[in-house]
Amino acid sequence: MLMYHAVQQSVDRNVVLQLLKPEACTDEGLRDEFKKLARAKANLVHPNIAPVYELLQSGPILFYTGELLSGRNLDQLSTGGQDLSTEQVLQIMVTVGEAMTAIKSQELSHRPLKGTDIHLDQQDQAHLANLALPAGAPNASKNEGVGIRKFISSLERVSPMGIAADLIQTLKKLSHDRILTWEGLLRESRLSRRRYNIGRANHVVGARGFATSWLRKKDRKRRIAVLSLICGALLALLSVVLLARPVAAPQSQIPDTMLCVSGGTFSADGAESEHLPTFWISQHEVTIAQYAKFLEDLATRDGTGREFDHEEQPATKRGHAPADWETIYAQARQGGTYSGHEINLDCPMTMIDWWDAYTYAKWAGQRLPSTLEWRKAASGPDGTRYPWGDSPPTDQANFGADYSPGAEGGQIDGFNYWAPVDAHQEDLSPFGAIGMAGNVEEWTATWATHPDYPDRRTPVVNGGSFASSIEHHLGLSRRAESPEESSLARGFRTASSSPPSDER
């Protein structure tokens, strides 16, 4: 499917135009799927969800038009380093809660909500992309709680630490709720907005009274003297902080180990057996420390990594450092926090797109594993549902059962978000690979047809993560929206068709 910005000339209106690729228009099956998708979206009506206007045909060409959303989406705000205020966060929570509750009440199939679907216009009003899918679509959202937790995670990335304390508590409460629904999120969001508005009004009234009292003429000299003492104490404290010696940065402890996965026939999830030759795969996910060496080496060249780039990488992509790399690396070096959670050099490298992962692997003299190679390395020759067998996990891996934006989670597997790549030794495959069931999901070399857009191919992502359901087994893979997509919950590991050399 191709997307264009267009003008509906009859009413002089800017629209988004979704076009079935011309070469797909001769396939009756693809035409029928496209029509069903357009009609499903047209049946979704809500004031804060982008409507579909019309489904049209021009000769053999099929297309539909819909509202062109203005403003920037949550992921763009996050990568651009823009923080949202408490009022903006509450407004988004209420709007999204109302829209998603309406979709649920109409019993409509829809795809999972992502940060790229939520746009904030110039008036700070939130608008959602049209998520509707035809009934029975295989990629329809099935886990309401996981979708809501991902929405909360998107909000957290654009919410500074200074947002209202009661809102932070609400987000923590929602994330820990075992029976999480959009109706519950909407209810809590409205209550939080009401509390915030009442508190703000009381603060304004109280501040006026305090200012009047403080500035009374008869008390002015005494007040000024107290202020002088306070300022002096603050300056003394500041000088102590500035003169304090910095804490030594922790060093990475993760060896760059490649594991041999023996060749032979392999079948998983009922698929026909295929022969896989012997290959090697990294024991751990690529760490922040390893990725930093990669970027440092690129800087000694031209900073872009062009000699290692994929031939189809867009010309507009320059460099392979994530938008917030300086902050990520600085916090990891000092054992600080990022997005409110502990981070160090042994944590997996995330927020990288497929082109970044490909370039790193080629720079390292390796490659990305295919999805079938990844599956065999994770589950062993028997193709089990988890690295340790077919039994459901308890605390062996870093899954999303205790996933929370707050600081009080981690009661099940020990971590709310990412963990150091060697933290879960029980998440161990028969070949010795660690962290393939959970922690962060991983890019693979395989590309496949996108379930929403039958004429688009995108990279396949394997594995569970700190944000996925605890029921997420190794046989569940998904298609990324595009190779440019990135996530806090996605990293990668490398593979090779030949034994590793001693030199990098």
CATH number at residue 35: 3.30.200.20
Question: d(Cα 339, Cα 369) in Å, to the nearest integer?
Answer: 29
pLDDT in tens, 359-375: 999 999 999 999 999 99
Question: d(Cα 445, Cα 195) in Å, to the nearest integer?
Answer: 49
Question: d(Cα 374, Cα 167) in Å, to the nearest integer?
Answer: 40
DSSP labels, 184-202: HHHHHHHHHHHHHHHHHHH
Instruction: Judge whether 108 lies within some domain.
Output: yes
Q: How many domains does the chain have?
A: 3
Question: d(Cα 37, Cα 90) in Å, to the nearest integer?
Answer: 32
Whole-number pLDDT of residue 179: 61
Mean pLDDT of 412-421: 83
Same domain, 134 and 30: no
Whole-number pLDDT of residue 120: 87
Same domain, 270 and 416: yes
Same domain, 42 and 76: no
Instruction: Judge whether 229 lies within some domain.
Output: no
Whole-number pLDDT of residue 223: 55
Whole-number pLDDT of residue 241: 43
Whole-number pLDDT of residue 387: 93
CB-neighbour burial class of residue 48 (10 A; exposed 0-12, middle 13-18, buried 19+): middle
Those residues whose C-beta lies under 8 Å from the C-beta of residue 53, and which sit 6 or more positions away, are: 8, 15, 64, 65, 66, 67
Same domain, 263 and 375: yes
Mean pLDDT of 296-314: 86
Whole-number pLDDT of residue 170: 67
Given 41, 67, 93, which residue is the final one in a domain? 67
Same domain, 409 and 268: yes
Same domain, 85 and 117: yes
Same domain, 61 and 130: no
Kindly compute the dihedral angle of the four CA atoms of residues 201, 205, 211, 216, in this order, to the nearest 10 degrees: 180
Those residues whose C-beta lies under 8 Å from the C-beta of residue 425, and which sit 6 or more positions away, are: 434
Q: Sheet containing 126-128: give its strands across.
A: 72-73, 118-120, 126-128
Q: SS3 of 128, please?
A: strand
Same domain, 448 and 405: yes
Given 196, 229, 244, which residue is the final one in a domain? 196
In angstroms, how far is CA 166 from the centroid of its own chain?
A: 25
Instruction: Judge whether 252 lies within some domain.
Output: no
**Higher-scoring residue by pLDDT: 403, 391:** 391
Given 180, 196, 212, which residue is the final one in a domain? 196
Q: Which of 1-5, 181-185, 202-206 has the lowest mean pLDDT?
A: 202-206
Residue 503 in this model has a pLDDT that exceeds 50: no
Those residues whose C-beta lies under 8 Å from the C-beta of residue 278, and which sit 6 or more positions away, are: 260, 261, 262, 263
Q: Contact 19/2 with Cβ under 8 angstroms?
A: yes
Same domain, 188 and 148: yes
Question: d(Cα 209, Cα 198) in Å, to the nearest integer?
Answer: 17
DSSP conformational letter for 307: G
pLDDT in tens, 154-179: 777 777 655 655 666 666 666 565 56
Same domain, 390 and 367: yes
Instruction: Judge whether 325 lies within some domain.
Output: no
Q: SS3 of 123, please?
A: coil
- Mean pLDDT of the residues in the chain: 81
Same domain, 83 and 53: no
Domain that holds residue 46: 2-67
Instruction: Judge whether 32 lies within some domain.
Output: yes
**Higher-scoring residue by pLDDT: 261, 160:** 261
The two tokens of residue 469 are: 């359901």
DSSP conformational letter for 50: P
The fraction of the chain above a pLDDT of 70, given in percent, is 81
Strand partners for 264? 276
CATH number of domain containing 148: 1.10.510.10
Specify the pairing of strand 441-449 against strand 490-491: parallel
Instruction: Judge whether 343 lies within some domain.
Output: no
Strand partners for 275? 265
Instruction: Judge whether 341 lies within some domain.
Output: no
Instruction: Judge whether 130 lies within some domain.
Output: yes
Question: d(Cα 44, Cα 94) in Å, to the nearest integer?
Answer: 19
Count of beta carbons in the 10 Å neighbourhood of residue 131 = 23
Same domain, 45 and 185: no
3-class SS shares of the chain: helix, strand, coil, % to 5: 35, 15, 45
Residue 501 in this model has a pLDDT that exceeds 80: no
The two tokens of residue 99 are: 């829209």
Whole-number pLDDT of residue 214: 44
Kindly compute the dihedral angle of the four CA atoms of residues 155, 472, 30, 4, in this order, to the nearest 10 degrees: 20
The two tokens of residue 256 are: 């760059």
Kindly compute the dihedral angle of the four CA atoms of residues 127, 128, 129, 131, in this order, to the nearest 10 degrees: -160
Those residues whose C-beta lies under 8 Å from the C-beta of residue 235, and which sit 6 or more positions away, are: none
Q: Contact 339/157 with Cβ under 8 angstroms?
A: yes
CATH number of domain containing 419: 3.90.1580.10
